[in-house]
């Protein structure tokens, strides 16, 4: 790559030069327009493979339904797990699914960064264009499979909160919205932090999966687990902030500040992930082939 | 410094290679542990106020869900994904031209895989026994019942997966179809809860599905949910399923092979 002429080299660095932390945020309008362009391109692919699109979006639906059905089958007999009713557990489940759907829809490319882009050198494509490479990676592939997760998460949250007859007020609504958006950020950020390892070890999927898998804990009340696991899910791999603490607040069981912590944690982890990403980018030397 | 720059990459390459192969092993291990931690916590909480649910004690239920997690997928079939990947690469027609029975070839390929999967699931099983109170039966008949129903169930599932694969001949795009099938399997196989805990109507239907034949039946013998005395019935159901699905999948394959669309071919 470096042997290319002066022009080529300058182009490379233009894409790569945006290393300052907030460069991601400033040209917001341009990036939104660009995202729309990428999105339309993806849409054309979906229209080309319509059946596949429908099956893909509904397939996540079926997998989630299987999990929910199992919980229902048990809790129809025993309606109480560490003091949580079926509808309350459902609320946790829905909140995790909803937050996860943002990562699934908007940041799915992180999963295969190493396998599909770094290994064969096609990651160069993200560097030679005059936009932020990370943005490019996100925008390159909107994953429609995540829509199924989004819908089922939303439906489950609404259904359970109706069944629980939650008395909504502004605080609770804000808490829920922040939990979903901040939770989405936590999901994306943890995947970003782990996927950066692809710059060193090429296939980062096992590492990402190893951390991602912890979100399974957050589908149930954290009080079910030992205090070590509970603390880990609150402070280290903070998926607990996505569901458990906001749910405690919305259900009126507890009003800890942790209920509102997910956006802060999300943004913090994103910044950390972005810093690591930039370290990785500097290390990236293409495949040389 | 120059020396280091020159020779370091060789060292790093070695690390990368070793890591690549081991990483998946460890991550699967971690996933098993996470799943077992959740299951143990969940079921202990469920059983907090009762000693038995639908005739199953905490020990038996935990045993079942943990063994299902460790061994449940060992007799899974890869024929669906095999067909799927060959369709998307446009290589399927070459495979069909081979002078062997396409279906039998895959059954043998799968069966070898089951044996390897059993060996590969040993570490997870060991963790389950050492750290999660899973108990293997003391009655040798239970192991026999497990092995017989494990193999027969695997064959039942194979024929069904084969039919799913044939659907790929029609839709040409199979990834979504695969996930859809996984969801259905998760639902009816008893992978998440013993079928005994499901409502009666669903339980009756689920126990007849190939998914339950392949997972619930063998695991229930190994975990003590079913006693070996019920082996006869179980075998009868499985053999009947094999005959019905075998004939059906044969018919579907002959039809599907005629309409096969090969991408880029």
Count of domains observed in chain B: 1
CB contact under 8 A, B20 and A201: yes
**Token representation of residue A148:** 């199924």
Evaluate whether residue B152 is within a structural domain: yes
CA–CA separation, B226 and B170 (whole Å): 40
CB A192 within 8 A of CB A270: yes
**A67 contacts in chain B (CB < 8 Å):** 186, 192
CA–CA separation, B179 and B257 (whole Å): 23
Helix axes A50-75, B175-188, angle to 10 degrees: 10
CB contact under 8 A, A73 and B180: no
**Which one of B30, B49, B184 has the shortest CB-CB distance to A210?**
B30
Q: What is the pLDDT of residue A286?
A: 64
The more confident residue out of B9 and A271 is: A271
**B31 contacts in chain A (CB < 8 Å):** 209-210, 213
* Closest-CA distance of chain A to residue B149, Å: 24
* Closest-CA distance of chain B to residue A47, Å: 14
**Token representation of residue B40:** 């143990």
Mean pLDDT of chain B: 85
CA nearest to B203 within chain A: A73
Half-sphere exposure of B117 (CA within 13 A, CB side): 19
CA–CA separation, A46 and A57 (whole Å): 11
* Closest-CA distance of chain A to residue B111, Å: 26
Evaluate whether residue B265 is within a structural domain: no
CB contact under 8 A, A76 and B199: yes
Q: What is the pLDDT of residue B141?
A: 93
CB contact under 8 A, B45 and A81: yes
**Which one of B37, B183, B197 has the shortest CB-CB distance to A62?**
B183
CA–CA separation, A103 and A71 (whole Å): 24
**A229 contacts in chain B (CB < 8 Å):** 37
CB contact under 8 A, B192 and A51: no
CA–CA separation, A120 and B246 (whole Å): 42
CA nearest to B198 within chain A: A73
Q: What is the pLDDT of residue A285?
A: 73
* Closest-CA distance of chain A to residue B240, Å: 27
* Closest-CA distance of chain A to residue B164, Å: 14
**B180 contacts in chain A (CB < 8 Å):** 55, 58-59, 62
CB B263 within 8 A of CB B174: no
* Closest-CA distance of chain A to residue B17, Å: 9
Q: What is the pLDDT of residue B242?
A: 95
**A74 contacts in chain B (CB < 8 Å):** 46, 53, 193, 197
CB A184 within 8 A of CB A99: yes
**A62 contacts in chain B (CB < 8 Å):** 179-180, 183-184, 187
**A118 contacts in chain B (CB < 8 Å):** none
Helix, coil or strand: residue A84: strand
Region B203-226: what's the mean pLDDT? 93
Domain residue limits at B15: 2-259
Q: What is the pLDDT of residue A5?
A: 41
CA separation, residue B138 to residues A65, B130, B160, B221, B222 (Å): 37, 16, 33, 12, 10
Residues 6 or more apart whose CB falls under 8 angstroms from that of A231 comprise none
Helix, coil or strand: residue A92: helix
Quick one: pLDDT band at residue B18, thresholds 50, 70, 90?
low
Other C-beta atoms lying within 10 Å of the C-beta of residue B8 = 10
Helix, coil or strand: residue A81: strand
Q: What is the pLDDT of residue B260?
A: 64
As a whole number of Å, the CA-based R_g of chain A is 21
Quick one: pLDDT band at residue B88, thresholds 50, 70, 90?
low
Evaluate whether residue B6 is within a structural domain: yes
Evaluate whether residue B264 is within a structural domain: no
Place of tokens 């090969």: B262
Q: What is the 3-state secondary structure (H, E, C) of chain B?
A: CHHHHHHHHHHHHHHHHHHHHHHHHHHHHHHHHHHHHHHHHHHHHHHHHCCEECCEEHHHHHHHHHHHHHHCCCCCCCHHHHHHHHHHHCCHHHHHCCCCCHHHHHHHHHHHHHHHHHHHCHHHHHHHHHHCCCCCCCCHHHHHHHHHHHHHHHHHHHHHHHHHHHHHHHHCCCHHHHHHHHHHHHHHCCCCCCHHHCCHHHHHHHHHCHHHHHCHHHHHHHHCCCCHHHHHHHHHHHHHHHHHHHHHHHHHHHHHHHHCCCCCC
CB contact under 8 A, B30 and A81: no
User: Complex ipTM, two decimals?
Assistant: 0.78
Task: Find, among A94, A114, A261, A98, the residue nearest to A192 by Cα.
Answer: A114
pTM of the model: 0.80
**B48 contacts in chain A (CB < 8 Å):** 82
CB contact under 8 A, A66 and B48: no
Q: What is the pLDDT of residue B26?
A: 82
Helix, coil or strand: residue A259: helix
Evaluate whether residue B45 is within a structural domain: yes
- Asked if pLDDT for residue B84 goes beyond 90, the answer is no
DSSP state, residue A119: T
CA nearest to B34 within chain A: A214
Q: Which residue, among B23, B68, B164, would best test binding to A if mutated, counting the most A CBs under 10 Å from its CB? A: B23
CB B37 within 8 A of CB A228: no
Q: What is the pLDDT of residue A34?
A: 86
**Token representation of residue B174:** 């199979």
CB contact under 8 A, B46 and A224: no
pLDDT in tens, B98-113: 777 888 888 888 888 8
* Closest-CA distance of chain A to residue B216, Å: 14
Burial of residue B118, with CB atoms counted within 10 A of its CB: 0-12 exposed, 13-18 middle, 19 or more buried: middle
CB contact under 8 A, B38 and A217: yes
Residues 6 or more apart whose CB falls under 8 angstroms from that of A22 comprise none
* Closest-CA distance of chain B to residue A79, Å: 9
Region B50-78: what's the mean pLDDT? 90
CB B38 within 8 A of CB A223: no
Residues of chain A with pLDDT below 70 are 1-26, 52, 56-57, 286-289
Task: Find, among B235, B189, B237, B231, the residue nearest to B64 by Cα.
Answer: B189
CB B96 within 8 A of CB B106: no
**Token representation of residue A215:** 């979100």
């Amino acid at each position: 790559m470096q042997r290319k002429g002066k022009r080529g080299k300058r182009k490379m660095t233009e894409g790569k030069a945006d290393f300052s932390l907030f460069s991601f945020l400033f040209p917001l309008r341009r990036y939104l327009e660009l995202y729309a362009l990428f999105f339309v391109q993806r849409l054309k692919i979906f229209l080309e493979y319509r059946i596949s699109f429908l099956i893909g979006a509904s397939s996540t639906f079926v997998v989630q339904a299987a999990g929910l059905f199992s919980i229902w089958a048990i809790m129809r007999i025993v309606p109480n797990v560490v003091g949580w009713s079926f509808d309350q557990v459902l609320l946790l489940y829905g909140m995790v699914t909803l937050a996860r759907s943002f990562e699934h829809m908007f940041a799915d490319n992180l999963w295969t960064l190493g396998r599909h882009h770094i290994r064969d050198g096609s990651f160069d494509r993200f560097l030679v264009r005059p936009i932020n490479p990370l943005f490019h990676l996100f925008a390159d592939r909107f994953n429609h499979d995540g829509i199924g997760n989004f819908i089922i998460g939303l439906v489950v949250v609404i259904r359970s909160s109706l069944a629980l007859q939650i008395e909504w007020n502004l605080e609770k609504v804000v808490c829920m919205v922040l939990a979903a958006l901040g939770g989405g950020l936590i999901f994306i950020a943890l995947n970003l932090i782990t996927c950066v390892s692809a710059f060193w070890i090429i296939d980062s999927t096992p590492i990402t999966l190893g951390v991602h898998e912890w979100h399974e804990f957050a589908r149930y009340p954290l009080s079910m687990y030992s205090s070590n696991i509970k603390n880990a899910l609150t402070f280290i791999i903070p998926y607990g902030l996505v569901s458990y603490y906001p749910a405690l607040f919305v259900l009126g069981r507890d009003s800890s500040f942790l209920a509102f912590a997910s956006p802060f944690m999300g943004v913090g982890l994103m910044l950390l992930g972005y810093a690591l990403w930039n370290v990785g980018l500097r290390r990236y030397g293409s495949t040389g082939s | 410094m120059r020396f280091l720059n020159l020779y370091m990459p060789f060292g790093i390459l070695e690390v990368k290679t070793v890591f690549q192969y081991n990483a998946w092993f460890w991550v699967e291990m971690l996933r098993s542990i996470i799943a077992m931690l959740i299951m143990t916590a969940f079921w202990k909480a469920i059983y907090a106020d009762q000693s038995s649910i639908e005739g199953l004690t905490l020990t038996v239920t935990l045993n079942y869900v943990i063994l299902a997690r460790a061994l449940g997928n060992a007799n899974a079939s890869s024929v669906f994904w095999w067909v799927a990947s060959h369709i998307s690469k446009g290589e399927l027609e070459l495979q069909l031209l081979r002078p062997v029975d396409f279906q039998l070839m895959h059954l043998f390929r799968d069966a070898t895989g089951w044996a390897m999967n059993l060996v590969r699931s040993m570490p997870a099983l060991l963790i389950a026994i050492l750290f999660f109170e899973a108990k293997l039966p003391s009655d040798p008949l239970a192991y026999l019942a497990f092995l017989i129903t494990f193999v027969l169930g695997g064959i039942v599932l194979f024929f069904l997966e084969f039919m799913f694969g044939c659907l790929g001949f029609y839709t040409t795009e199979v990834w979504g179809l695969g996930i859809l099938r996984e969801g259905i399997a998760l639902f009816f196989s008893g992978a998440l809860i013993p079928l005994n805990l499901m409502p009666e109507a669903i339980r009756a239907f689920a126990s007849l599905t190939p998914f339950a034949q392949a997972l619930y039946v063998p695991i229930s013998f190994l975990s003590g949910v079913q006693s070996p005395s019920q082996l006869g019935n179980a075998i009868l159901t499985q053999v009947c399923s094999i005959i019905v699905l075998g004939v059906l999948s044969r018919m579907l394959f002959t039809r599907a092979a005629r309409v096969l669309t090969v991408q880029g071919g």
